[in-house]
Amino acid sequence: MIDFNRNPASYHHWQLEIDGDVAQLRMNVDPEHPYRPGYELKLNSYDLGVDMELADAIQRLRFEHPSVKVVVVGSAQERAFCAGANIWMLADSTHPFKVNFCKYTNETRLSLEDASRNSGLKSICAVNAACAGGGYELALACDEIHLVDDSNSAVSLPEVPLLGVLPGTGGLTRLVDKRKVRRDRADVFCTMAEGMRGKKAVAWGLVDATWKKSQFAERVQARAKELAATLPNKAQKGIALLPIRPKVDGTSYTYTHVKLEVEPGSRKAVLTVQGPRGPQPKNGADYEQAGCSAWALQCYRELDDALLQLRFGHEEVGLVVLHTRGDRAAIVQVEKDLVQNRSHWLCNEILLQMARTLRRWDLMARSMYALVDDAACCAGAFFEMTIGCDRVYMLDSDQVSVAIGPLSDGALPMSHGLTRLQNRFLAQPAHGSKLAKEQPTLSALEADEQGLCTYLLDPVDWTDDVRIALEERASLSPDALTGMEASLRFGGAENCDSKIFGRLSAWQNWIFTRPNATGDEGALTRYGAPESAKFDWRRT
């Protein structure tokens, strides 16, 4: 398995310092500690290990340091802010790893933006030196970008002219959607390998401010203090985030509330999520006392880890089968208590963690089937997971029921901003709204009548019909299924996030397999070599 647990005491690549309501998060990549052997992390370039630490730091700021209002993201190296994703790592990686790496790094940047929107944690990027590719994409995820004004420091997205690929973690989309840079200027900027610096970068909207080197640190710190003064206080003390460590037996991962069983021979994985057992916290103070062991936080942190294990450790698994277990009433009660206490900082952060985890679930490049049998706990956020699947198979039994909870009314939005009920009933928006408002508990037959399952199966047919459905899905082309699922899962209008994961990721996925990028004479393969890349000039 892959250990996604990190903590500041063991960081190799980041330095996190807390000073009152401002945190300093400095990138200082150790070239001798790559995620895997075979390349050197020069010029603050990053790989999966670097980004795991960044994800951990953002998560810890939210849960362990709620007193922090502004984080300044900078570099501890004078010659480079960040050179972006390590090119040698990309060149030597498998295609699935490259795509999943880009997806993970962008989800990390989205968590920074989510913290700004929903947690009162703003971010300033202090670009003190050259900032290229993924480095600038990290800057784009921050609320403000401050650039040192000297003869060398510039921001750039050089992937198109130098590597024949795209900025893989949202750079193109954030440039025009988030910063609203004019299309023609964005076109120029994204084909300039050298990038742009100083006052012109400010004028074009690529950065927010530029300062002389002698003033840079002082100006950035002053702006951080100024911004922090405008934000409300949350709490002085947070909770400790303990590591998530499943028991691993071959290809089976057993957590406290989650179990993942991978069946390599059938290219299938069974994911079982378990509801709360025993008394649960009722308010913010109770949650602070329970810390990270509270079911509502522990379960979704475990689920998040299980999904990452699937992504990076089991590339050939094409179908995830979802089982939900537990007490429906207990899940709904936990969610009601969290919503009632959402003004408390920790209850809010737990709800945001649940939402981020379910968005990662939506974005799995695997087929997802939910099996709602007579032991199922299709309730609350587990109901959200169920209708987030590509198909829902429900047993026609008196023991089966569906309980829609309070979080289905907007607390757990998908990447494109819609709830899963809105996404499911695009042609009947009033119906989706009615279900979200009324939050009914429905029998299997009523759930079918309300459009909440794909197939309602008789007990006599259940075993054979489910077996045939799973075998059929696993037999289809994984490439065609990935494209089909991504196109069908997110209906309605796009936003910045969904463009990144839908449009941009799809194009990057395709480009990574093209000879112009990764062939023997492709730009990514030949980067740093004396020979220029050779392109197939046909456009398709």
Residue 163 CA from chain centroid, whole number = 25
How confident is the model over 152-174, as a mean pLDDT?
92
pLDDT value, residue 508: 81
Q: Does the structure show a pLDDT above 90 at 475?
A: yes
pLDDT value, residue 539: 87
The amino acid at residue 460 is V
pLDDT value, residue 376: 98
From CA 405, how far away is CA 331, in angstroms rounded? 8
Q: Does the structure show a pLDDT above 90 at 500?
A: no
Q: Does the structure show a pLDDT above 90 at 169?
A: no
pLDDT value, residue 506: 81
Strands 441-443, 401-403: parallel, antiparallel or unpaired by DSSP? antiparallel
Burial profile 431-448: b = 16 or more Cβ within 10 angstroms, e = fewer: ebeebbeebeebebeebb
Give the start-to-end residue ranges of the domains of the chain.
8-229, 247-484
pLDDT value, residue 250: 95
pLDDT value, residue 366: 95
3-state secondary structure of 81: strand
166: which residues sit within 8 A by CB, 6+ positions away?
159, 160, 172, 504, 507, 508, 511
pLDDT tens-digit series, residues 194-231: 999 999 999 999 999 999 999 999 999 999 999 999 99
pLDDT value, residue 269: 98
pLDDT, averaged across the chain: 96
pLDDT value, residue 309: 98
3-state secondary structure of 125: strand
Q: Specify the CATH number for 247-484; select among 3.50.50.60, 1.10.3720.10, 3.90.226.10, 3.30.450.20.
A: 3.90.226.10
From CA 509, how far away is CA 506, in angstroms rounded? 5
pLDDT value, residue 151: 84
Classify residue 336 by burial, with Cβ atoms within 10 Å: 0-12, 13-18, 19+. middle
526: which residues sit within 8 A by CB, 6+ positions away?
532, 533
**Stretch (H or E) spanning 6:** none
Superfamily designation of domain 8-229: 2-enoyl-CoA Hydratase; Chain A, domain 1 (3.90.226.10)
Q: Does the structure show a pLDDT above 90 at 270?
A: yes
From CA 61, how far away is CA 57, in angstroms rounded? 6
